[in-house]
């Protein structure tokens, strides 16, 4: 019982077995007692218990009844305490998740870094005649009424899913909260669409059964959709609050 030892979640199965054994024992005792009390009515020869045997039976039954009630109360207190601990652990894990998501989002490079990396990769692609692709990922929270920290946690989950799909030479950027870009050196449009499908699967798994967020994925590739780095920058600029849509965004969606 809890008054003799501490609560150990690993011992819950053993404690449940003890409870079942005690409950079955009490049920058997009650059944036997009821049978003895009804025996004189059912049969002509009653069973008469007198002396020490009757007193021992009576006190044993009383002790077992008190033990059963005490054990049930103790189990209820144990369950309540475990539930409280579970809620506290869930709250702590949610807080850790929020903090980790906030740190991850803050660590992602922004638009300035994207422009510098794009210029470098575009010069390399044009010089070596290699393709270059950009994936734009917009994550949309399906529960805008949630706390801002919960929304940020959803964005953080999406960012983790995106990072897990990257190669070593790929780069991820955050243009706005929930608006990401992935630069894929050496990837043509066809392969970029395949990467987009893999990312969609990852994001779907990250959203979970509750579907905490939805997403849209766009693809822009050189030389299939754009001819210059400036056109690719305009696609990103069109996604920012101050940006204006341009004709370069025509190649953003899958044909």
- The answer on 61 and 165 residing in a single domain is no
- Segment 25-42 shows an average pLDDT of 69
Closest CA to 183 of 168, 202, 203: 168
pLDDT digits (tens, 9 = 90+) for 105-126: 888 898 889 889 998 998 999 8
- Residue 4 covered by a domain: no
Pull the structure tokens for residue 19: 């409870």
Residues 6+ positions from 92 with CB-CB distance below 8 Å: none
- Residue that is last in its domain, among 104, 130, 154: 104
Mean pLDDT of the chain: 77
Residue 26: what pLDDT? 74
Give the chain as a DSSP string: -TTTS---GGGHHHHHHHHHHHHHHHHHHHHHHHHHHHHHHHSSS-----HHHHHHHHHHHHHHHHHHHHHHHHHHHHHHHHHHHHHHHHHHHHHHHHHHHHHHHHHS--HHHHHHHHHHHHHHHHHHT--EEEEEEEEEES-TTS-HHHHHHHHHHHHHHHHHT--TT-EEEEEETTEEEEEEET--HHHHHHHHHHHHHHHHHHHTTTT-EEEEEEEEEETTT-SSHHHHHHHHHTTSTT----GGGGGGS--
Closest CA to 216 of 243, 244, 183, 252: 252
- The answer on 71 and 41 residing in a single domain is yes
- Measured at the alpha carbon of residue 200, what is the angle toward residues 195 and 201, in degrees to the nearest 5? 100
Residue 182: what pLDDT? 92
- The answer on 97 and 176 residing in a single domain is no
- The answer on 152 and 99 residing in a single domain is no
- The answer on 145 and 94 residing in a single domain is no
- Residue 166 covered by a domain: yes
Q: Report whether pLDDT(39) > 70.
A: no
- The answer on 118 and 97 residing in a single domain is no
Q: Are 68 and 26 in contact (CB under 8 A)?
A: yes
Residue 194: what pLDDT? 92
CB atoms within 10 A of CB 215: 19
- The answer on 94 and 23 residing in a single domain is yes
- The answer on 237 and 141 residing in a single domain is yes
Residue 17: what pLDDT? 76
- Residue 253 covered by a domain: no
CB atoms within 10 A of CB 193: 17
Tell me the pairing of strands 132-141 and 171-176: unpaired
- The answer on 85 and 15 residing in a single domain is yes
Residues 6+ positions from 29 with CB-CB distance below 8 Å: 61, 64
- The answer on 38 and 125 residing in a single domain is no
- Residue 230 covered by a domain: yes
Residue 243: what pLDDT? 43
- The answer on 136 and 64 residing in a single domain is no
- Segment 242-247 shows an average pLDDT of 39
- Residue 176 covered by a domain: yes
- Residue that is last in its domain, among 67, 85, 104: 104
- Measured at the alpha carbon of residue 136, what is the angle toward residues 163 and 125, in degrees to the nearest 5? 85
Range of the domain at 66: 9-104
Put simply, whether the predicted model's pTM sits higher than 0.95 gets the answer: no
Overall number of domains in the chain: 2
- Residue that is last in its domain, among 104, 126, 157: 104
- Residue 254 covered by a domain: no
- Residue 17 covered by a domain: yes
- The answer on 169 and 130 residing in a single domain is yes
Higher pLDDT, 103 or 190: 190
Residue 250: what pLDDT? 32
């Amino acid at each position: 019982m809890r008054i003799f030892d501490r609560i150990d979640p690993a011992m819950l199965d053993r404690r449940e077995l003890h409870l079942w054994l005690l409950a079955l024992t009490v049920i058997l005792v009650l059944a036997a007692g009821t049978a003895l009390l009804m025996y004189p009515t059912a049969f002509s020869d009653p069973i008469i218990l007198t002396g020490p045997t009757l007193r021992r039976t009576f006190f044993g039954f009383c002790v077992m009844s008190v033990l059963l009630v005490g054990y049930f109360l103790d189990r209820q207190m144990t369950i309540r305490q475990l539930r409280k601990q579970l809620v506290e652990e869930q709250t702590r894990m949610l807080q850790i998740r929020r903090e980790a998501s906030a740190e991850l989002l803050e660590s992602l490079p922004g638009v300035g870094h994207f422009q510098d990396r794009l210029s470098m990769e575009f010069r390399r692609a044009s010089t070596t005649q290699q393709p270059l692709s950009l994936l734009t990922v917009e994550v949309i929270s399906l529960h805008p009424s949630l706390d801002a920290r919960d929304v940020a946690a959803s964005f953080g989950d999406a960012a983790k899913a995106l990072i897990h799909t990257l190669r070593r030479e790929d780069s991820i950027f955050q243009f706005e909260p929930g608006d990401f870009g992935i630069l894929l050196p050496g990837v043509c449009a066809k392969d970029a669409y395949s990467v987009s499908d893999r990312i969609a699967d990852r994001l779907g798994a990250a959203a979970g059964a509750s579907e905490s967020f939805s997403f849209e994925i766009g693809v822009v590739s050189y030389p299939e959709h754009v001819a210059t780095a400036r056109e690719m920058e305009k696609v990103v600029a069109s996604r920012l609050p101050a940006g204006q849509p341009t004709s370069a965004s025509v190649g953003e969606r899958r044909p």
